[in-house]
Amino acid sequence: MPLIFITGGVRSGKSHFAEKAAVTHYQTEFTQAQRLIYIASGVALDREMEKRILRHQADRQAQDIEWLTIEAPYDIADTLHQLTDGDVVLWDCVTTWLTNAFYEGFDMGTPCVEQPGCLEEKIDSLKKVVETLLEKRVTFFIVSNELFDEPPYSSEEVELYRQMLGELHQWFVSIADEAYEINYGVVKKWK
């Protein structure tokens, strides 16, 4: 089944575009599409993120179509048993998930980013999950943020994050059936 990768700047309209595309696909393929599923990676750790999550929830509720929301801030593999052939799945978003992965374990004193091999293991697991979902005949919309127009940071951790995100983006695009970039509400189809 198809994988559609959608990236763009912060508040560029990419989530709206992805939701609209997923709903359209769901309605078009309704005889085969089982459910419309939203995998949410956001965690409301501050007021800004809480507002963003509430806005996304309100946007989905206003669509007059039922979304099943699955919270998966750390491990996308936990969603596999909940998905079936024919589901239309939107995952929002890779950048939030990667941030969560970087700092998972922080409350225990050692975040993943400081544990040798931890991030690589999480990314390998993510890739296996994506491949499994595609084998399950799930239509998969993946949303991410484009962070590569920013100047380099002096922080090694931030640069590692950008490098890993860039590598993930390249991998997603390489296996995607379609790839879009949204900026200022303008959609550019790259693949």
71 is in an annotated binding site: yes
86 is in an annotated binding site: no
Q: Going along the chain, which residue ranges are E strands?
A: 3-8, 36-40, 68-71, 88-92, 139-145, 178-183, 186-189
52 is in an annotated binding site: no
- Mode of pairing for the β-strands spanning 3-8 and 186-189: unpaired
169 part of the active site: no
DSSP symbols for 130-161: HHHHHHTT-EEEEEEE--TTSPPPS-HHHHHH
Which of 38, 88, 31, 87 is closest to 58 using CA atoms? Answer: 38
- Mode of pairing for the β-strands spanning 178-183 and 186-189: antiparallel
42 is in an annotated binding site: yes
9 is in an annotated binding site: yes
Considering 25, 56, 81, 169, which one is annotated as catalytic? 56
8 is in an annotated binding site: yes
105 is in an annotated binding site: no
13 is in an annotated binding site: yes
Angle between helices 94-103 and 156-175 (to 10 degrees): 140
125 is in an annotated binding site: no
β-bridge partners, 181: 7, 188
Which of 10, 33, 22 is closest to 144 using CA atoms? Answer: 10
Q: Check if the beta carbon of residue 114 is closer than 8 Å to that of residue 106.
A: no
117 is in an annotated binding site: no
Residues in binding site for GTP? 8-15, 40-42, 71, 92
> Residues forming the annotated binding site?
8-15, 40-42, 71, 92
Catalytic residues: 56
